[in-house]
Amino acid sequence: MNIYSDYIKEIEERKIQGLHPKPIDDAQLLSEIIAQIKDLDNANREDSLQFFIYNTLPGTTSAAGEKAKFLKEIILGESVVKEITPAFAFELLSHMKGGASIKVLLDLALGNDAAIAKEAASVLKTQVYLYDADTSRLKEAFQNGNAIAKEIIESYAKAEFFTKLPEVAEEIKVVTFIAGEGDISTDLLSPGNQAHSRSDRELHGKCMITPQAQEEIKALQAQHPDKSVMLIAEKGTMGVGSSRMSGVNNVALWTGKQASPYIPFVNFAPIVGGTNGISPIFLTTVDVTGGIGLDLKNWVKKVDAEGNVVRNESGEPILEQAYSVATGTVLTINTKTKKLYNGDQELIDISRSFTPQKMEFIKAGGSYAIVFGKKLQTFAAKTLGIEAPAVFAPSKEISHEGQGLTAVEKIFNRNAVGTTPGKVLHAGSDVRVEVNIVGSQDTTGLMTAQELESMAATVISPIVDGAYQSGCHTASVWDKKAQANIPKLMKFMNDFGLITARDPKGVYHSMTDVIHKVLNDITIDEWAIIIGGDSHTRMSKGVAFGADSGTVALALATGEASMPIPESVKVTFKGEMKSYMDFRDVVHATQAQMLKQFGGENVFQGRIIEVHIGTLTADQAFTFTDWTAEMKAKASICISEDETLIESLEIAKGRIQIMIDKGMDNAKQVLKGLIAKADKRIAEIRSGEKPALTPDANAKYYAEVVVDLDVIAEPMIADPDVNNADVSKRYTHDTIRPLSFYGGEKKVDLGFIGSCMVHKGDMKILAQMLKNIEAQQGKVEFQAPLVVAPPTYNIVDELKAEGDWEVLQKYSGFEFDDNAPKAAARTEYENMLYLERPGCNLCMGNQEKAAKGDTVMATSTRLFQGRVVEDTDTKKGESLLSSTPVVVLSTILGRTPTIDEYTAAVDGINLTKFAPSHKQLVK
């Protein structure tokens, strides 16, 4: 009884925190619970029944296997439980979503008892999470003349699992709740510093927004029991920064509907809105849960009598309210007219939120059910030798005769499945595509594992070229939470078929390399489609999409993803970089110049940035593509010259070989296969058989941005502008300022160089600057701490081989030790250089953080409130983003440098240079 006793003890501990029992996923615990149910005199029998029925996780958890087996015994009469009749046992099986439950249902449906077979068939007709082993059993039984198998397959061919679901309600009443003013990052819905608890849904739900906000939501629900609470980003975009399934889970937990009475803390159908809509990658996650995301447009630009935009003293457009969505406002969503109403007053057209495909997601309770349902219908129709009836909304196929293709349109056309043969598709088309590379990171990985279990997947799809599970988001501190979670995650993913940062068997040295950098290396074809569990999945080869943990799970299980082909914005460059500028300044300037060119409109939002980088190899180009997540772009794609691409592929091959040499390849030799694919691609380019990917000369773009390098006269800094009078302008990435704006007077409390926005060149710049400053001033003294976290171990190894690491060691007061990693997060910093373990470090905000109220100068990508640095009661924390040389100099001076101090410090240093290609990067 030890396991059960431990569980009861845990329940008592959770009670103190106001939490319910943790859902059961362990077979050993459930076996004990089942034994207690069978023992009619057992004192724990009543509680055990409750745990068995209402608190056991479904899918492929080991507990689900025990539950399905016991339910089968009850149905066959081998066990009698008065509280669980055979009919109730079938109902419980119907809620278990695949895995062991499907095996049991097939056993019963294909068994000898006709009455039981009929009941089992009725349940199977409602299920969609079937895999090859399941459909093969059905097919074989059908071919052997089994009437029940034929009946089930015929039902699948008609897609009755979908058609017999209730229709979406015509009217959905909502009551508004303003979650915040301005852009709302997913950190507000699911803080990065609480990442360790994401897989414990109830516990994690307590971190959404604030306890006060949670009480206000509960009060609204009590006042409006017949309505759904809609969370709103007033004067901003909802869900910027990441897809974050845990954020949507939290919103659904507080405002959605329970998915099943027998599955705890899994809710669906959240409703969210934003003045400027929903961030594209976050909206994908909303679709996963069958939710609704609305572009409210309730604040609009004020215009004068001539129709010109009216601007304030700062040149910003003045906004005026089109209609109110103040907290407590009751609105009606009409899914038939696709309009939003306040009473009888029509407010806005919301048809983009109710496309035929989105209506299917809402009806089915999420996009997964549609993906699996379509595959199941296809199987059934093929088995019966018939054409599948047109049940699902046809995919929108947009083709413009005579119009060329952008680079991303070419990639989607090459990877598309199930489209009209021979038809060329343009932006706006709905496409199912095969996925080449998949990445899972460690703070969302536990949720991805849960999603894989819930969709009953046991092995990676054979059509995926390669997949990687990182350990970078928990690299900084190897605390008890990480020690409990990460080895378990690595084993699950390793068994599933991924290359993993940690070896469950301990054969190779654990690696904490930043996930995006590894994915950038293992992407060996610029025609690839990459899906990764982080918003910065933005490769400089191929086109990569940051995704929620569920979409990652779907890509791993099926090798597919579904999405519309996005529009593209073309970015080209002219002019010449100043010798003292770094490429990071070009990245910032791109955002600033784009906003200026388009009158403050962010044309990047929700679109692909097709950047004609031409001459930069993958490492350096990644600095641009990585940043595009903060530009609110859906993704980015690089156009390279042939020789540049070949050089990038050779670098990738070398790094993959290092992984192989470390012993990281698996039984299927996935990494070795990637090198072979890279060799093949290089040969195609060199022979002229298939040159580097370029768009067509007559491709159509939503907009074209030309970045003038000549006008970038000084380093550029992305400023959170924390004291802007307009709250909606704070913590956006749109405030880009030149170094001179600060007049050399802004105090800097801490510097951070690291995470995914830096490459080997940045580490060398740091070393060169330290030598430069020592030569100029006689010594190097830090007036503020400088935290350095290289993105990968191979960069550290290369720096050691080239002598630069020795320079960094000379000036450092702390150097990471993998044999004794930190067990607690650092809370105080000295004015010195810290050489931290490769990984995300301060950028993630879930382990190491700056002191509250600090002003941080960082190479990071995140300037969100509370991410890198939290506020105090008297001072707001600031995370300013800049190039490596600016960060270094700011920590040595303890303030922002003047332009003269900066140019002197970088004199003679080899900064990341960029010269636009002189070749025509079009076909």
pLDDT for 411-457, tens place per residue? 999 999 888 889 999 999 989 899 999 999 998 888 899 889 888 88
Listed in sequence order, the residues at least 6 apart from 2 whose beta carbon sits closer than 8 Å to its beta carbon are none
Please, are residues 280 and 234 in contact by the beta-carbon 8 Å criterion? no
Task: Look at residue 1 in the predicted model and tell me its pLDDT.
Answer: 53
Please, are residues 841 and 472 in contact by the beta-carbon 8 Å criterion? no
CA nearest to 885, candidates 772, 780, 776, 762:
762
CA distances from 589 to 449, 592, 600, 712, 717 (A): 40, 5, 14, 7, 9
Task: Look at residue 132 in the predicted model and tell me its pLDDT.
Answer: 87
d(CA 352, CA 620): 37
Rounded to two decimals, the pTM is 0.83
Task: Look at residue 858 in the predicted model and tell me its pLDDT.
Answer: 95
Residue 2 burial by CB count (10 A; 0-12/13-18/19+): exposed, middle or buried?
A: exposed
Q: Give the β-pairing of 786-789 and 319-321.
A: unpaired
CA nearest to 247, candidates 314, 165, 180:
180
Q: Which long-range contacts (CB under 8 A, 24 or more apart) does 305-313 make?
A: 309/599
- For the chain, report the end-to-end CA distance as a whole number of angstroms: 71
Task: Look at residue 566 in the predicted model and tell me its pLDDT.
Answer: 94
Please, are residues 191 and 201 in contact by the beta-carbon 8 Å criterion? no
- Local mean pLDDT, 10-residue blocks, the chain (923 residues): 90 94 95 96 96 94 95 97 97 93 97 96 96 94 97 98 97 97 90 82 93 96 97 93 85 95 94 93 89 96 87 82 97 98 97 94 94 93 95 92 97 92 94 94 88 88 95 88 90 95 90 90 96 87 90 92 93 95 94 93 93 92 88 92 96 95 94 97 97 96 97 96 87 92 96 90 94 90 96 92 95 92 90 94 84 94 86 93 96 97 92 86 81
Please, are residues 330 and 224 in contact by the beta-carbon 8 Å criterion? yes
Q: Which residues pair with 339 in a beta bridge?
A: 334, 349
CA distances from 703 to 602, 636, 733, 898, 923 (A): 11, 14, 20, 36, 19
Residue 100: both structure tokens together: 């062991």
d(CA 487, CA 468): 15
Task: Look at residue 562 in the predicted model and tell me its pLDDT.
Answer: 86
| Helix, strand, coil share (%) of the chain residues, nearest 5 | 40, 15, 45
CA nearest to 426, candidates 416, 434, 435:
416
| Phi (first) and psi of residue 102, to 5 degrees | -70, -40
Pure H helices in 391-545: 407-415, 442-454, 480-496, 515-522
